[in-house]
Amino acid sequence: MFKTSLHLPAHITTIEAAILGDSVSDLCSAHSALRAENTQSAPWVLEWLFPKQIDPQVLKARLLIASDVHNIDISQNFDFMQEDVPDINWLEYSYMQFPSFSIGPFFIYGSHYEDNVPKEQIGLQIDAATAFGSGEHGTTSGCLQAMIDLKGQGACPWNVLDMGTGSGILAIAAWKLWKTPVLAVDNDPEAVRVAAHHREINNVPESATDIQCVCGDGFATELVQQRKPFDLIIANILPGPLKEMAEALVTCADENGAIVLSGILNEQAEGVLGVYQALGLEHRKTIEIGEWSTLMLRKPAA
CATH number at residue 8: 3.30.70.100
**Do 138 and 186 sit in the same domain of this protein?**
yes
**Do 40 and 187 sit in the same domain of this protein?**
no
Which of 30, 26, 23 minimizes the C-alpha distance to 4?
Answer: 30
**Do 276 and 160 sit in the same domain of this protein?**
yes
**Do 218 and 88 sit in the same domain of this protein?**
no
**Do 201 and 153 sit in the same domain of this protein?**
yes
pLDDT tens digit sequence for 229-264: 999 999 998 888 999 999 999 999 999 999 999 988
pLDDT tops 80 at residue 111: no
Is 69 inside any structural domain? yes
Q: Give the residue numbers spanning the domain of 61.
A: 2-96
- Please say whether the beta carbons of 234 and 162 come within 8 A: yes
- Please say whether the beta carbons of 46 and 6 come within 8 A: yes
pLDDT tops 60 at residue 300: yes
Q: How confident is the model at residue 279 (pLDDT cuts 50, 70, 90)?
A: very high
Number of compact structural domains in the chain: 2
Q: How confident is the model at residue 130 (pLDDT cuts 50, 70, 90)?
A: very low
**Do 140 and 64 sit in the same domain of this protein?**
no
**Do 57 and 200 sit in the same domain of this protein?**
no
State which of 96, 122, 141 marks the end of a domain. 96
Is 116 inside any structural domain? no
Is 278 inside any structural domain? yes
The overall average pLDDT reported for the chain is: 86
pLDDT tops 80 at residue 133: no
pTM of the model: 0.73
Is 144 inside any structural domain? yes
DSSP 116-135: PPPTTSEEEE--TTT-S--S
**Do 290 and 236 sit in the same domain of this protein?**
yes
CA-CA distance, 256 to 233, in Å (whole number)?
12
**Do 71 and 153 sit in the same domain of this protein?**
no
**Do 212 and 289 sit in the same domain of this protein?**
yes
pLDDT tens digit sequence for 2-35: 888 888 888 887 778 878 888 888 888 777 777 7
Q: What is the CATH number of the domain that holds 232?
A: 3.40.50.150
- Please say whether the beta carbons of 149 and 285 come within 8 A: yes
Is 254 inside any structural domain? yes
**Do 223 and 136 sit in the same domain of this protein?**
yes
Strand partners, 162: 184, 234
Is 117 inside any structural domain? no
Is 32 inside any structural domain? yes
**Do 142 and 250 sit in the same domain of this protein?**
yes
CA-CA distance, 75 to 144, in Å (whole number)?
36
State which of 75, 96, 117 marks the end of a domain. 96
